[in-house]
Each structure stands twice: as C-alpha cells, then as structure tokens.
Amino acid sequence: TEHIDKVKHEEDPLASGGPKPMDVSTTPHEIFSADVTVLEGHSSEVFACAWSPAGSLLASGSGDSTARIWTIPDGPCGSIQSSPASGHVLKHFKGRTNEKSKDVTTLDWNGEGTLLATGSYDGQARIWSRDGELKQTLFKHKGPIFSLKWNRKGDFLLSGSVDKTAIVWDTKTWECKQQFEFHSAPTLDVDWRNNNSFATCSTDNMIYVCKIGDPRPVKTFSGHQSEVNAIKWDPTGSLLASCSDDWTAKIWSVKQDKCVYDFKEHTKVCQIIVILA
C-alpha cells in the first residue's frame, strides 16, 4: 500500500446454487509464538509473498530491492529461520548497495513452480528460476509494476503498471505480445479470466475486461466512486470481485454492466480481495 499511496495521493454460479459459503468461526483463536515460523533476512518492509505450487518454497518481495525464495521445512511451525542461507536472495540491483527505485512490489509463480516473476518499482519485470538464477529481464513499461500474473497455461505473463498500461508477454520469446492502453491513470491490479482474457483495474475508477488480439476492451465495468485497488476472478471466470477506496467491494458478471452485488459495510479503504473455490 505504500507504493500505491505514492501514486495516488456463462451462468452466475451464486444464482444457480453455486459454491456453498464456508463455515466461518467468529471465536478468536490465539496463535502462540512457539507455533510461528519467523523468516528473517529482509532489511526493509515486505510487500508481497507467494507459495510455490510445487514444493515447500515461499517467495517474498521487499523494499530492500530483493526477493527471497525460502525453503520451508516439513513438519510443525516454530523453527526460526534467521540466516539468508536458508533460501535464495534475488538481488534487483548491481553492486553492494541496494537501490530504493528497485523495490520488489509484486511477484508470482508459474503453474509448475519452476519460474518466479517479480515486478519492481523500476518498471522492469524479472524472471527467476526456483534456484534464484535470473533468466530474463523484461523492459517496456515506463513506470513501476504493481501486478504480475501468469496465466494457467503458462504461455503468457501479464503485467500492470503505473504507466497506465497492461502488457501480455509471450513466455516462449519473452517479447511483448500486446500492450493494452485503455486506462487514463495507473493500473493497480490485473487478473486472468482464462488463458486468453483478463481484467485490469486502475486509479481512474474503471475496470476493463480485455482479450488478447482485441484492440478495445470486450467489457467495461463502471460503478466504483474511487480508485479500484484489487480485482479477482472466481474459478469459473463468470464473476469478478473488486475492491476500492470508495469503501466498497463489488461483484460483477460478464453478462451485465451493473454490479451483481455491492458490499458497503467497510468503514475504510478496501484493498484486498480473496476468492475461495
């Protein structure tokens, strides 16, 4: 949120029965320090983390201009990892001194857990092996990258930037497949609907659904009264959740223009969306 503040300042599965809501306990549960694994090594705030879909690896991205890949041991939590040797340090700078302009703002694993993509405040996306080897650096954005997502098939990587655009990268050639220039303000989040289409959101209050090959958005969602911080498709690709500085979270259907549900119970900015299958 620190970086965002810098910039600012088919059938409906729910209607047809769909997934049943989870049972949520309202009873507080205390987590004792002995049951917590602490990963120490970053020298500044941690902005993002992501579990690898294969193996016990956790990636983290930080304001210290590094990402780290941690090897989490099997068994119960509680052991303290205090040495950088417990994982790989992915430096986003050259030389001995880190650079603030290279803060790691976002990261995402591919579906096989073999490659990690990181996005940086310097506007570059970087591709790393699970062993911490830099495989590729992607140059085209002209502003910080706030969101990176692999599609499920793994043949495309999607990035969203402060330069108001989203880019689809071909992961076979690592060239720009298509740059989408629909927003009039920074793109804050992106999310794939399927292997060829996705949504983007922005500080311009707008949400666009885009498709590779199409020069214009295939769907526009307008209704938020302030910048849209995060978006997330449901597993079927029928519904899109969004959250905004207007204190609301909304659910959108690709079959209509107005939101399907409008949640107004928050009393402050809504910044995180989680979809449970």
What is the C-alpha separation between 192 and 203, in angstroms, rounded?
19
Over its length of 277 residues, how does the chain's per-residue pLDDT go in tens digits?
Answer: 555 564 544 333 333 444 444 455 567 788 888 888 889 999 999 999 999 998 889 999 999 999 999 998 777 776 544 444 468 999 999 876 667 689 999 999 999 999 999 999 999 999 999 999 999 999 999 999 999 999 999 999 999 999 999 999 999 999 999 999 999 999 999 999 999 999 999 999 999 999 999 999 999 999 999 999 999 999 999 999 999 999 999 999 999 999 999 998 766 566 655 554 4
DSSP secondary structure letters along 188-253:
EEEEESSSSEEEEEETTSEEEEEETT-SS-SEEEE--SS-EEEEEE-TTSSEEEEEETTS-EEEEE
Q: Are 67 and 57 in contact (CB under 8 A)?
A: no
44-139 shares its CATH topology with 171-277: no
Placement of tokens 């073999």 in the chain: 114
Residues 6 or more apart in contact with residue 215 via CB below 8 angstroms: none
Fold of 44-139: Thrombin, subunit H (2.40.10)
Placement of tokens 């694993």 in the chain: 109
Reported pTM? 0.85
- Amino acid residing at 179: Q
Fold of 171-277: Methylamine Dehydrogenase; Chain H (2.130.10)
Q: Are 203 and 7 in contact (CB under 8 A)?
A: yes
Query: Domain spans of the chain?
Result: 44-139, 171-277
What is the C-alpha separation between 259 and 25, in angstroms, rounded?
28
- Number of C-alpha atoms within 13 angstroms, CB side, residue 148? 30
Cβ neighbourhood burial of 6 (10 Å; 0-12, 13-18, 19+): exposed
